[in-house]
Structure formats: structure tokens, C-alpha cells
């Protein structure tokens, strides 16, 4: 169940937040870095907008190619989704209440939205750094657990 695969033989992981503009974009970039050898990596939003310019600038400063990052709707993501990971903080969206039965497993990595931080651009970038580091740590742990699970199967 956990590792049913896509056409290319990889399970599909989806990072979700409301607008698919910041947190899920950071997670998609990190997911491509850490998970693309074992997962097909996607991000989407329940009400997609456009990638936040600060998030794109932040990722570029970290050395990421952002040319393929864009805001996507959940409806645009191939199904089934093996694991969906919500990044919304409390009040944005309830982690277990979104989408449909084509998602085989749901997780919640609740993160503060850097875009909604009151303060200067520097304040927002500081929160973005914290959120990025949090997601990176969770991503590494997730990969380690996924590799253990693959060995069991």
C-alpha cells in the first residue's frame, strides 16, 4: 500500500499548502533534492496562486533552479498520491480534511507561513530560513524512514 508505484516505478509524494506559493514550493525544491531518487515529487495547493517572489528569491540564493516551480492545483496532480504532506499551520487548513480517497496516506508538517509574518522583508526571510530548515530536517528523516521501509518490503 505505502509503496504502490507510479508508471516510472516510484511512489508519488505531494507537498500541500493553501496557495502553493511558499511552504509547499520550498518543500518541492527540497523534495527534488532529497527524495527524487525514490519518489516522484509534486507540490500543489487547494487554491493555487503564483509562487511568492520572496520564496523564489530565497531558493535561488540557496542555489536551486526555480525555473520549473509554479503554483499547481491538486486537480493537476497525477493520481494516486501515495503520501500527501500538508505544510499549513493551524488556522490555514486542517491537515486531515483535504482532498480525496486517491491519497493513500496523509501527514502534517505544520509550518508557519513566512509570507504572513508581520514585519519587513528581512523578517519574512528570517522566518523562511527557519521554515526551510525545519522542512529540510523533516525531509531527511522522511527519506531515512522511507529507505528503511523499502528494505522491509
Task: Identify whether the C-beta of residue 85 lies closer than 8 Å to the C-beta of residue 64.
Answer: no
> Catalytic site residue 108?
no
Q: What is the C-alpha R_g of the chain?
A: 15
* Active-site hit among 13, 18, 88, 125: 88
What does residue 25 show for φ and ψ, rounded to 5 degrees?
-70, -40
Annotated catalytic residue, options 13, 77, 95, 135: 95
Helix (H/G/I), strand (E/B), else coil: 139? helix
**Grid coordinates standing for 26?**
520550498
Catalytic choice (17, 30, 87, 128): 17
Q: Active site includes 22?
A: no
Determine whether 88 is an active site residue: yes
Q: Give every strand in the sheet of 40-45, ordered side by side.
A: 40-45, 12-17, 81-86, 103-108
Task: Point out the residues that are catalytic.
Answer: 17, 88, 95
Amino acid at each position: 500500500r505505502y509503496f504502490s508505484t507510479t508508471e516510472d516505478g516510484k511512489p508519488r509524494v505531494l507537498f500541500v499548502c493553501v496557495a502553493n506559493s511558499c511552504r509547499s514550493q520550498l518543500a518541492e525544491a527540497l523534495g527534488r533534492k532529497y527524495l527524487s531518487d525514490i519518489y516522484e515529487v509534486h507540490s500543489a495547493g487547494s487554491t493555487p496562486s503564483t509562487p511568492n517572489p520572496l520564496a523564489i528569491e530565497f531558493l535561488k540564493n540557496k542555489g536551486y533552479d526555480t525555473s520549473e516551480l509554479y503554483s499547481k492545483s491538486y486537480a493537476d496532480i497525477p493520481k494516486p498520491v501515495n503520501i500527501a504532506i500538508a505544510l499549513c499551520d493551524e488556522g490555514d487548513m486542517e491537515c486531515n480534511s483535504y482532498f480525496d480517497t486517491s491519497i493513500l496516506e496523509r501527514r502534517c508538517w505544520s509550518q508557519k507561513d513566512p509570507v504572513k509574518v508581520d514585519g519587513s522583508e528581512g523578517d519574512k526571510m528570517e522566518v523562511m530560513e527557519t521554515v526551510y530548515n525545519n522542512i529540510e530536517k523533516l525531509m531527511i528523516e522522511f527519506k531515512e524512514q522511507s529507505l528503511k521501509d523499502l528494505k522491509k518490503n
